[in-house]
Homo-oligomer: A and B are copies of this chain.
């Protein structure tokens, strides 16, 4: 059912129950959104965030499986809600190989569908967890919004430092990975030290995950990634490989990037040829980034974050949850989709 977790005897059945909770929740909506219902019952993603929450809970002994699975469903609903609103913000036409929700149902309904999912996420969290988890989720959404706004502000400026980039992905991605592992451990009353270790490990796994995600925009082919290739640059995003490449070879790259803002505005206004010209310039810039070795430099950072995560994981009690988490961190570093 969930490709990424096939063969994991501990996690697969639990994630199937998480998917059932999500499908049931979305099924309660008065939405006529077949797409959303289908996404909920046949997830195309890796369910990483709920998986981390379940793994985190295995470090404690007091976990009520149903509560944990409901809380895991809440973090995935939060993720789905942010994806829907992100796609509106990024004007992304495709998500996980299918038209994004706002492309198929319109911006208005996509705004409401995201709001509805946020509210359901909070409801599940408030019903299944202590006030700490609910507070944590609320803080997290605020942090994600702030990161997205900062990212949106900086679009087409192509002037991020590595520090800016890391701050953005910390808010956008790593904070939720961190919260998922921590919330699972906290709900299961794992020892305090293990909770803190898991919080740090989740953060590093999330940082590595997002760096790899951003690398894949430069290296993957469309049929595998199920999303357009080189799109980040076309959309004006300055991810890590581009940050490093601009440090190496500013002038030549900048001449390729300079017309993008105008071409993108032209594409949005329906100007003939603007979209194709934008995507071509972005593709050329992406190719130059790869030539400069900047993708490899970024991959080195992902390795560094993963090593830091594995170091944290090494402090945890030996056993199958620890092995599962270490193996997950390694698989995410090595993935090509």
Partner of A123, one of B112, B123, B139, B153: B139
Query: How distant is A140 from chain B, measured CB to nearest CB, in Å?
Result: 8
Q: Which residues of chain B come closer than 8 Å to A118, judged between CB atoms?
A: 115, 118-119, 141
> A188-213 CB contact bits vs B (8 Å, 1 = yes)?
00000000000000000000000000
Q: With A115-B118, A123-B135, A127-B135 as given contacts, are A109 and B141 in contact (CB-CB < 8 Å)?
A: no
Verify B123–A142 contact, CB threshold 8 A: yes
| Identical subunits present | 2
Verify B126–A145 contact, CB threshold 8 A: no
Q: Which residues of chain B come closer than 8 Å to A114, judged between CB atoms?
A: 111, 115
Query: How distant is A192 from chain B, measured CB to nearest CB, in Å?
Result: 22
Query: How distant is A122 from chain B, measured CB to nearest CB, in Å?
Result: 4
> A117-146 CB contact bits vs B (8 Å, 1 = yes)?
011101100110001001101111110011
Known: A30-B149, A116-B149. 20 other contacts (CB 8 A): A31-B149, A85-B115, A88-B107, A89-B108, A112-B152, A115-B115, A115-B118, A116-B146, A118-B141, A119-B142, A122-B122, A122-B138, A122-B141, A123-B135, A123-B139, A126-B126, A126-B134, A126-B135, A127-B131, A131-B131
